[in-house]
A and B are shown apart, each in its own frame.
Chain A
């Protein structure tokens, strides 16, 4: 008989199975295989290093070769940049389009620098005051308006509410 309530609960909820699986031992040689995997992994992938066969004692203990290599890289980069810079031609004037000087005209439209301008017909001339047409206009009577037009000015000056107020106001006599 199972008297332990916790044990009963564990068996009822299936945790016994999970504990059984959790308690299984790891396969033999697991650690060794992990060690091998770690050894095979690239340790120094992020840092450039000399190949193993070139890694002599001199290379490992002194850094002058590393410095020389860095200097060579800098030299190549700077030299390449200078080579590109020196091949570019400087000071060459660009092609400039010279605009013709604007000829000051006597007003009106300009020729817009055209080589030849077409001849135009003589335009209308402005008549001076005192000509016939002007005189006729002055002697003709003013035209009457065709019909009565309702406008704001045609309305009575006193508005209705104001008039009614005046009428309603009692006369005060002293």
Chain B
């Protein structure tokens, strides 16, 4: 029967898409979490962002077959979510960073004082990163992920690879200047 055949096809297609999304979750959820956490620096917010990203994938699952690089596509989705959330939640106190970093950063072989000093240093670096212009800051964040090449960063941000390189160069110069300035003040 023609109608039942098309219905069967639909059912089969849906179950295949569900299986594909499930595989994507298993493969990339951790990477997406790290991307989200590096910007939001809040575990629950990062997890929410990952869930929202996969829900968006579920809504647009008809596009799955057209996507060439699922990893970059997913990172792009979560990146947009994360930036949107960060834009909306600007009231986060800056002292959160020190506490959060002390909790999450590896502390093998470090005393309490050394750990606290390291966390403070990292928080200070992150505060300097926040002072960068948005374009440079975004490239710097994404460049910290060693698994992302400059081509992939360009794909995530929707810019050219040469723009990524020039922005990264500017970001590094600005960061060096900011950190040097802070060091001299101390």
Contact = CB atoms under 8 A, between A and B. Distances in A.
A115 interface: no
Which 9 pairs between the two chains have the least Cβ-Cβ distance? A18-B144, A14-B125, A26-B30, A26-B33, A13-B175, A17-B125, A22-B144, A17-B122, A13-B172
A34 B146 contact: no
Interface stretch (A35-43, A87-95, A145-153, A164-172): A35-43
Interface stretch (B21-29, B63-71, B108-116, B150-158): B21-29
Interface in A57-73: 61-63
Contacts, number: 101
B47 A33 contact: yes
B143 interface: yes
A15 B144 contact: yes
Counting chain B residues whose Cβ lies within 8 A of the other chain, the interface size class is: 35 or more
B129 A14 contact: yes
Interface residues of A, number: 29
30 contacts: A12-B175, A12-B179, A13-B172, A13-B176, A13-B179, A14-B125, A15-B172, A17-B122, A18-B38, A18-B140, A20-B122, A21-B37, A21-B41, A22-B34, A22-B35, A22-B144, A22-B145, A24-B104, A26-B34, A27-B47, A30-B33, A31-B25, A33-B51, A37-B54, A38-B21, A38-B22, A43-B14, A62-B4, A63-B1, A63-B3
B126 interface: yes
A26 B33 CA distance: 6
B44 to A, nearest CB: 9
Contacts of B171: 13
A19 B33 contact: no
A41 B18 CA distance: 12
Nearest to B27: A31
Contacts of B129: 14, 18
Interface of B: 1, 3-4, 7, 14, 21-22, 25-26, 29-30, 33-35, 37-38, 41, 43, 47, 50-51, 54-55, 58, 101, 104-106, 121-122, 125-126, 128-129, 140-141, 143-146, 171-172, 175-176, 179-180
Given A18-B129, A37-B51, A41-B55, A23 B29 contact: no
A61 to B, nearest CB: 7
A77 interface: no
A9 interface: yes
A56 interface: no
A80 B124 CA distance: 72
A18 to B, nearest CB: 4
Nearest to A45: B59
A4 interface: no
Contact of A35 (B25, B43, B145): B25
Nearest to A18: B144
A31 B25 CA distance: 6
A159 interface: no
A16 B33 CA distance: 19
Contacts of A23: 34
B4 to A, nearest CB: 6
